Amino acid sequence: MMSLDERDVPLLTLLRVGRIFAPAPLEATDLLIADGRIAVLGRDLAVPEGWPVRLVEARDLTAVPAFIDQHVHVTGGGGEGGCGSRCPEITAREIVAMGIGTVVGVLGTDGISRSPADLLAKVRGLKAEGIAAYMYTGSYRVPPPTLTGDVQRDLAWIPEVIGLGELAISDHRSSQPRQDEIARLVGEARVGGMLAGKRGICHFHVGDGQRGLEPLRQLLAETEIPAEQVIPTHVNRHRALLEEAADYALAFAASVDVTAFDDPGEEGLSGFEAVSRLLARGVPVERITMSSDCNGSLPEFDTQGNYIGMRVARNTALIADWQRLVREEVLPLDQALGLISGHVARVLGLHDRKGRLAIGHDADVTLLDGNLQPQQTFVAGKRLYARDGSP
């Protein structure tokens, strides 16, 4: 991580790169950043002598929108095997080293020893280190734990709260919520978001139970809730669920989130396989996002549902699966970028300032080498990571 001392950061930063994908390829090769936002995109930009400008020469690198990970257990997940199975917190360096500039923190199974207050403190800590960080209120449980005692108030009064999640459905670890409880909570999140000028999405953990996405199908078919309000994740945990996710996305013009599992196991699919299959089924790429589930648990259970072991998820698979989609020409770079930047920004309601390299947008920029490996990460114009250790 670079030093984040504001006194060391000039008001202006000029990036000179080889190419810019914004996500579409641009003729511009220079980005002038002013006060954390992109001020000018052009070629051979000249800056008046004496101006306080930091010049970053990176002619061998490609600038793209910094990545967005909408599902990160920033305080650590786990706990299914008792207190000794709690996963560790994620570090800021682990985030920015993967080219990620924005994260959304979640609570999972354990909403008891870890609370929304803990999550908010961690999110604010990441923000203090320069990362753009948000959170969902709630956890697997229904009724969900909150900061203020009310979902709407959390969304209305806590700037970092952008939605409700990860609510668990079709999973033996869920609270087995009734359909009316799901509808009420989604409605609460929608109205709370409206009052705060946020999207107010509901981020749904989908387990491997036989009901699959049926609770969400029923929700969209029987209520006035728009499809953009609910985002099912982990839809690639087994092949039948992924096929159902494709049908769901096509039937409701809905978005689905693929998890880049470190090890999908015999039943699951990797992020690469899942995205490839969804595209083959005709799901528009704009309706697909990818996330890491980073620092969450990957528990193993026997046929009776007894806990038998656990691994900790990392975010390296997210970048590796995304790189493979481009390298194997499943998607061109400009379209693939949406999976972990622009589409995610739209889903979260952050598209007015994130997910694109455009004048007036936050200067969240990742510089990639020829192998699509992140070399530098800028958030709000500040360089938080350089692989070579440059300040």
Q: Return binding residues for Zn(2+).
A: 71, 73, 205, 234, 293
Contact 264, 293 (CB under 8 A): no
Give the burial class of 46: count Cβ atoms within 10 A of its Cβ; 0-12 exposed, 13-18 middle, 19 or more buried: exposed
Contact 40, 31 (CB under 8 A): yes
For the chain, the helix, strand and coil percentages under 3-state DSSP, each to the nearest 5? 30, 30, 40
Contact 66, 95 (CB under 8 A): no
Token pair in block for residue 195: 């009052």
C-alpha 223/C-alpha 34 separation (Å) is 45
Strands 67-72 and 374-379: unpaired
Q: List residues forming the annotated binding site.
A: 71, 73, 78-80, 109, 140, 173, 205, 234, 237, 293, 297
Give the three-state DSSP class for 157. helix
The sign of the CA dihedral 123, 125, 128, 130 is negative
Radius of gyration for the chain, computed over Cα atoms and rounded to the nearest angstrom = 20
Query: Can 293 be counted among the known catalytic residues?
Result: yes
DSSP-derived letter for residue 349 is T
306-322 as b/e, with b when 16 or more CB fall inside 10 Å? Answer: eeeebebbbbebbbbbb
Catalytic residue among 293, 321, 362, 364: 293
CA angle 351, 372, 87 (to 5 degrees): 70
Q: How many CB atoms lie within 10 A of CB 280?
A: 10
CA distances from 365 to 119, 196, 369 (A): 26, 27, 13
CA distances from 203 to 39, 137, 189, 319 (A): 33, 10, 10, 21
Contact 367, 360 (CB under 8 A): no
CB-based contacts of 220, cutoff 8 Å, min separation 6? 227, 230, 252, 254
Q: List residues forming the annotated binding site for substrate.
A: 78-80, 109, 140, 173, 237, 297
Q: Tell me which residue of 124, 88, 34, 66 sits closest to 313, measured CA to CA.
A: 88
Catalytic center residues = 293
